[in-house]
Amino acid sequence: MQNEKDLLQKFIQDALLEDIGDGDHTSLSTIPEGKEGEAQLIIKEEGVLAGVEVALEIFKAVDADLKVEVFINDGAEVKPKDIALRVKGKVYSILTAERLVLNTMQRMSGISTTTHRITKSLEGTSTKVLDTRKTTPNMRFLEKAAVKIGGGVNHRFGLYDMILIKDNHVDYAGGIKQALNAAKNYIREKEKNIQIEIEVRNLNELQEVIECGEVDRILLDNFDFETLRQAVRLVDGRFVTEASGGITEQNVLQYAQCGVDYVSMGALTHSVKSLDMSLKALKS
């Protein structure tokens, strides 16, 4: 797995290539070569800012001579008319970076804003909010970073850093006991230092997992509130519990009040609204 710095640089280069192709012909045809200018990034609605550090890397990749002054950092609450940053240098470079900076920051800020709102709603409970793998291809590392900025917790990054035995795995393996035994044998044989989580669909499956033991986390999928409370009582603190399935911003507190350690929400990343902002030229 590449580290985040390498992932970011590859993301930026691929995104710029996608957008620019053989040149920004609008800017090339209308802006005198070498003309310098200044622009500022203006926030247009309330939220939690994310992606500032990424924007700095985008500007640097486009033109290392661009000068960027940051006024608001990642994780700060923002409101309309706030100025997050100002960039100065060649106009062509500013315009080249504009859309990628905005697309990235708007998306990340939408995720951090939603996550922050949900984590605030759970204050007073011990439940934490997890993201999922329901992310935009090749932007997962940015979207998961935005979840953390908003106060959430990252679940596994991909298929490689945790064993998560879901219903299909259980059915194909021939049952819960078979799936768990196979996973434990695999970890021993491959000498992998990764955790095991298993999904259960009802209290009978939960009881079977409890009897088998040797799991790090139990995923309680699509349980109604009463059954979820029963499940938490059955587990009795012996395993980490996670609820998933049908959890929304409107009902997440009710899930948390059932006593689970985590709630996982695909909605953090797959259906958020981007935070509105714009990069506007400063006229000299």
DSSP three-state, residue 119:
helix
Is 276 among the residues known to form the active site? no
Q: How far apart, in Å, do the first and last CA atoms of the chain sit?
A: 46
Catalytic residue (one of 44, 166, 184, 201): 166
Rounded to an integer, what distance in angstroms lies between the CA atom of residue 178 and that of residue 168? Answer: 13
DSSP three-state, residue 122:
coil
Whats the size of the chain, residue-wise?
A: 284
DSSP three-state, residue 14:
helix
Quick one: tokens of 236?
Answer: 């009795």
Is 65 among the residues known to form the active site? no
Is 221 among the residues known to form the active site? yes
Catalytic residue (one of 133, 134, 184, 201): 134
Quick one: tokens of 270?
Answer: 């797959």
The CA–CA distances, whole Å, from 6 to 12, 98, 216 equal 10, 22, 31
Is 99 among the residues known to form the active site? yes
* Torsion on CA atoms 173, 174, 180, 184, rounded to nearest 10: -50
Phi, psi of 130 (to 5 degrees): -110, 150
Are 275 and 45 in contact by the 8 Å Cβ rule? The answer is yes
Are 179 and 198 in contact by the 8 Å Cβ rule? The answer is yes
Catalytic residue (one of 98, 143, 197, 199): 199
Rounded to an integer, what distance in angstroms lies between the CA atom of residue 42 and that of residue 278? Answer: 5
Residue 152's CB is within 10 A of a number of other CB atoms, namely 25
Quick one: tokens of 121?
Answer: 């709603």
Catalytic residue (one of 44, 60, 99, 133): 99
Among residues 275, 283, 282, which one has the least CA distance to residue 114? 275
Catalytic residue (one of 197, 221, 242, 261): 221
Which residues form the catalytic set? Answer: 99, 134, 166, 199, 221
